[in-house]
Structure 1
Amino acid sequence: MNHHHGRTIRRGLLAAVGLALASGACGMSARAEVVRYPEADYPISTAVEVPAGYSTVYISGLGPPVRDSHAPARTPAAYGDMEDQSTAAFQRVKDALGKMGLGMADVVQMHLYMVADPATKKLDFEGMMHGYRRFFGSADQPNVPARSAFAVAQLANPGWLIEVEVVAVRAPKK
């Protein structure tokens, strides 16, 4: 094959690829949506597929705010039990997303860091799930993220039983 013929083939291939992309022949619609692969009987996704063009928003780990200012500072009593802390931490995530024009439906990945309650020496996973279900997997907000939950030795704030970190996505502008 001569040099000129190779250049012609490359140009033809580039033109064909460009045409295929412009016409949607590669399986992508003009406005592809996030695809979630939810678990059958559990409010999380096994995977979440985000198409090209979406922007990614990373929310730092957030714990609950102080609930009882009369309780000793930086103790679980100041923040509540796991259900209260989870609900409050998820609300903080929701508020942070809201300031950016996003919501809990835009969350595609979540990491939960939890510690055992010092009083019971047990991790209250069910308490966390009660808080979680207020924000994910409901009729009002059915989108569920891919999620990992970790039991850790301690969190930066010794009063926290949970810290929530999320990744959300923003759809491309039309």
Structure 2
Amino acid sequence: MMRKLIPGIIALVLCTQAAAVDVTRHPIPNSKFPISAAVEVPAGSTLVFLSGVVPTAIDAKAAKDSVAAYGDTKAQTVSVLKSIQAQLAGMHLKMGDIVKMQVFLAGDPAKGGKMDFPGFMEGYTQFFGTPDQPLLPSRSAMQVASLANPGFLVEIEVTAVRP
């Protein structure tokens, strides 16, 4: 019985991988803002949903529940995107395979409790909209009341499509 299933499964996987090549990214009209207005993923493509990723500590001496342990919004964004990049690489995917991103930004105490969107963008644009990686995901960014650790200012979850 398993022998009959395996060829069908292999064929399904091969079809799914081939279909993902046809992802269409629609730019925001008359804008250079580094996100896509929309991304079309063809039916049958394999989608990979990554759980929210938070920053890693950059200062081992700082209290684990402090912003000082993880850095400002830019540093945390770079940390999170590097972790996502590594996780994707472990699944044979790249940052350009990301089609959807949701960004959760906590208010920065150093910014009067407001999210640091410019700091986020400074980190984000190191990974997206560059000559080496021009493919842009659709994206939402929002300020949240807090994240799981009071020191976290950034959490990002992504959806990628397997080429």
Q: TM-score, normalised by structure 1?
A: 0.78
What is the aligned-residue identity percentage?
A: 47
Confirm or deny: 8 A CA contact 2:20 2:45 kept in the other structure: no
Cα 1:100–1:32 change in 2 (3 A) is closer
Cα 1:113–1:138 change in 2 (3 A) is same
**1:61 is aligned to 2:46:** no
Any idea what the Cα deviations from partners look like across 1:26-71, whole Å, max 9, x if unmatched?
xxx9885110002231000010001123100000000110000011
Cα 1:69–1:146 change in 2 (3 A) is same
Confirm or deny: 8 A CA contact 2:96 2:133 kept in the other structure: yes
Cα 1:151–1:107 change in 2 (3 A) is same
Q: What is the letter of the counterpart of residue 165 of structure 1?
A: E
Partners of 1:99 and 1:64 lie apart in 2 by 18
**1:36 is aligned to 2:28:** no
Alignment of 1:10-89 (within 5 A): 33-39=22-28, 40-89=31-80
Q: Any gaps of 5 or more consecutive residues in structure 2? A: 1-17
Cα 1:69–1:142 change in 2 (3 A) is same
C-alpha displacement of 1:118:
1.6
Structure 1 equivalent of residue 107 of structure 2: 116
Cα 1:31–1:86 change in 2 (3 A) is closer
Structure 2 equivalent of residue 133 of structure 1: 125
Partners of 2:146 and 2:69 lie apart in 1 by 17
RMSD over equivalenced CA pairs, Å: 1.6
Structure 1 equivalent of residue 154 of structure 2: 162
Any idea what the Cα deviations from partners look like across 1:117-153, whole Å, max 9, x if unmatched?
1233221100000100011011100000000001000
Q: Which has the higher helix share?
A: 2
Partners of 1:56 and 1:41 lie apart in 2 by 27
C-alpha displacement of 1:104:
0.3
